[in-house]
Chain A
Amino acid sequence: MPFIPHSANDIKEMLATIDVTSIEQLFEEIPAHLRVKNMPAIPESLTEMELGRLMRSRAEQDSGLLCFIGAGAYEHHIPAAVWHIAGRGEFMTAYTPYQAEASQGTLQLLYEYQTMMASLMALDISNASMYDGATALAEAILMAVRLNRKNKSNRILLPSCVHPFYREVVKTIVTQQGIELVDVPFDEKTGRLSIETLEKMTHEEIAALVIPQPNFLGMLEEVDTLTDWVHAKKALAIAVVNPMAMALLKAPGQWGHAGADIACGEGQPLGVPLSSGGPYYGFLCCKKELARQLPGRVVGRTVDLEGKQGFVLTMQAREQHIRRAKATSNICTNQGLLVAASTIYMSLMGPHGLRQIALISHQNAELLQKKLTAIKGVELVFEGPYFHEFVIRVPRSVEFVLHQLAKSKMQGGFDLSKAYPHLGECLLVCVTETKTAEDIDKFVTALASVLSCEDHSRDKTEKTEHVRTYL
């Protein structure tokens, strides 16, 4: 019996103690006609060895490709120590730290995380995590609307240069409460927001503007101007940022005269593997005046009976288990273990290491961009500074290009043609510190060869219906 320790004799003794004759009898309160008859879809059990064989063959199917895709999930080197320690049973198999005295490891780690993340964002406080970057943004928007009770506006300016899937998640979550999301187009030339466009959106009052840095297209926004603009409208600035970039770029709390009010985003770049898109974690930081509207777990430092330092979950009066229908959020389980990994990662990197990784990723991106745009027919779509991702337009269907590249074990980037059809056949390409000069050259050669291939008729035949889904 996998994972069940009972011997026949144990069972006998236990049934006798309960005073029943069979395990079956314990289910007597369930109406008999409701009992399950058959579950044919469930296969026979496997031993660990058999499972290993199966899973290795499945993992093999998805491996061995050089990755130039970013689009919100970034490949970075993860030091061995990160998951060796985060994977210790004491961290991995604990529940939420409800019994503080028996959870000081997790709680102190979370306090250290809150310190690191708040400081990385140059804001006062951080919570202990949300599910992912997209839900963190949704919660930041709900927070902004609650904070804006005074002018009662529930209009949010959500630019289209924010990750398209973040915008979809935000829509799913916040429109349940009747919040209005206003799309703000980006400038076609710069791939960035412009104040002129924003001004046209403010015939009615707004609660907040979402400011991405870098934005989904990789471009760096004029964050100071945008933050000051939204503050002049008496609304909040919500930053959605790549935390890795914040070791190099001006952090949300430093934007404009007063700093962004809330910062959120995807914590994955800091020590979390790509892993098909999760588990990752969302971070959420804010100014201390906004603390009472913060959703999610928060850890505080306190003392024990003897005056010794210790850590507990705090500000629980905001949370679902106390406040129920009036809670700031329904979140309960969050993404604690990923935060543990990130905290270990940030400790290993320190301020210097994190900045070096951000810098070299940026430089590698510039190098690749120069080489790619030297290929005939490939053009850089936006002018201006970017972080470690940029947009190129290719003279053939992106879909065809990506499938051809995959044949040479290359993942060429994210296909923008579905989320931004008006841009044409565009590809979002990412490079990090994980790519060498040879990797970069390999990619350039592969793309050049795909594009020089004469047989244009194959553009069509490559498109089988079911691999064309929008992902």
Chain B
Amino acid sequence: MSELIFKLSHHGRCATAQIPRHVAQKTTIPSHLLRNDEPLLPEVSELQVVRHFTKLSRANFSIDTQFYPLGSCTMKYNPRGIHQLAMLEGFLNHHPFSLPINSQGYLSCAYELQEILKAVTGMRGVSLTPMAGAQGEFAGVAMIRAYHHARSDLTRTEILVPDAAHGTNPATAAQCGFEVREIPTDKEGNVDLDSLRKVVGPKTAGIMLTNPSTLGVFEQNIEEIASIVHEAGGLLYYDGANLNAILGKVRPGDMGFDVMHINLHKTFATPHGGGGPGGGPVAVSERLVPFLPMPIVAKKEETYYWLTGKECPQTIGRLSAFMGNAGIILRAYMYARMLGKEGMERVAEFATLNANYLLAKLKAAGFTAAYANRRASHEFIITLKIEAKELQITALDVAKRLLDYDFHAPTMYFPLLVPECLLIEPTETESKEVLDAFADALICIVQEAKIKPDLVRTAPHTLSVRRLDEVKAARELDLVYKEK
């Protein structure tokens, strides 16, 4: 692996071509407000910077270089043309506080994306401002609270969350000041209706669901769940992380959901950047429209403009200093335009075809599907509990060994209720050959576990580092480099 960039530093060196000339060193700022030491930034040449970070990039797996079947994350191809167009000067140098007359290009794209998202979700209002799924969840749950409060219904203090839910769901509910009640899953992967009926009541503000769920199956009782929760006076939140599975096939608005987010960095193919940025627009049914976060783009005659709290006094407020991850919104808009209507339906079709094909191959090879009686959605779970018992290898070992085969590992140990699980999401942009090669790799790894188990248990062997010690990292926190 590369040295830290600080080790390349030489006092007095710099990337001269980047630094302004003729700067007077005297200043009128009073000296007690000035800094009199130097921050620890490297002193290196431009070439050293380019080489260092280019080398670092090569120690990453990515969609551009590897199959990346990370379940629940929808790692599909991020079209290059879209990236290039988002980097046009007119978009990059556009200030968020430019006058609306100087912002019609961007505003028109954002407005049209709002309309497209309404159409694919079956909802009545959209705000693009949330900057990731979790912030969309926050907006949604805050709107649920605002809705109840606007009706002087102040006793609803609980949000229901299935035990298979992503961690952001309970964390969001708590961040909005709600208590979280967990609902168990039945053995076919659906929400357990009896348990739901028991906990739902006058304290229920709402329920958060993902559909298809994080177990990779379609929640078959969704209409019944909707009527149970609605009858108790609660609202339904749709976690849109898995929207790719149903895009153009079935819409959350038609299933009875009141509010949802869309992860643009999943379903709408915007690059996830090694952690972010994302985009988490929220879409709502009629009764929640007044509460949407600001700002929203509106249109009058042929002019686009921002709606703010002035026009929408019941809004939950702002969620970002400006108007959300505008560059991501642009990319999602372009992706929607490139796909068009038919393209969007094909997303769900081929994502589902790929998942079911890979599942069928793996089942035929002897792997255990967590929900064998169910049709997979765009992703599915295999459980390695048998292999763990018979061969003493874990899902973690298999995941790490996959890296040696030049495949990114699936999501592991999530959802928490399936032991030794791998959540596999191939996405629609992968070819049959890639899926075949991935299935072969998994089959080989199980063979290796039988013959040379240590090879699997100590994987990876071929990357820039061997298996890393996370326990040491957590015990002996080393979060910043210190010069000796």
Contact = CB atoms under 8 A, between A and B. Distances in A.
Given A62-B102, A299-B479, A330-B171, A348 B35 contact: no
B468 interface: yes
A232 interface: no
A1 B343 contact: yes
B78 A75 contact: no
Nearest to A1: B346
A124 B118 CA distance: 45
Nearest to A64: B90
Contacts of A14: 353-354, 357, 432
A4 B20 contact: no
Q: Looking at chain A, what size class is its interface with the partner chain?
A: 35 or more
A89 B250 contact: no
Interface in A227-250: 246-250
By CB atoms of chain A within 10 A, which of B76, B103, B327 has the most? B327
A157 interface: no
Given A23-B349, A39-B344, 15 more contacts: A30-B246, A54-B337, A79-B18, A93-B271, A95-B272, A101-B468, A111-B4, A172-B293, A176-B142, A278-B324, A303-B469, A304-B466, A330-B172, A337-B273, A466-B305
A428 B109 CA distance: 28
Contacts of A360: 20, 23
A65 to B, nearest CB: 6
Contacts of A273: 92-93
A308 interface: yes
A134 interface: yes
A387 to B, nearest CB: 8
A17 interface: yes
B59 to A, nearest CB: 4
B452 interface: no
Contacts of A326: 174
Contacts, number: 703
Interface stretch (A44-52, A440-448, A449-457): A44-52
A395 interface: no
B33 A223 contact: yes
Contact of B97 (A304, A331, A338, A471): A471
Contacts of B344: 39, 42
Contacts of A461: none
A91 B274 contact: yes
Nearest to B278: A333
A377 interface: no
A52 B81 contact: yes
A4 B428 contact: yes
Contact of B49 (A35, A56, A81, A176): A81
Given A3-B76, A302-B470, A403-B101, A95 B145 contact: no
A5 interface: yes
A92 B83 CA distance: 10
Interface string A83-114: 11101111111111111111111101111101
B268 to A, nearest CB: 12
A347 B317 contact: no
By CB atoms of chain A within 10 A, which of B166, B342, B473 has the most? B473
Interface string A312-349: 10111101111111110111111111111001101111
Nearest to B344: A42
B32 interface: yes
A350 B14 contact: yes
A350 B15 contact: yes
A256 B56 CA distance: 39
B451 interface: no
B122 to A, nearest CB: 8
By CB atoms of chain A within 10 A, which of B17, B18, B145, B342 has the most? B18
A88 B56 CA distance: 11
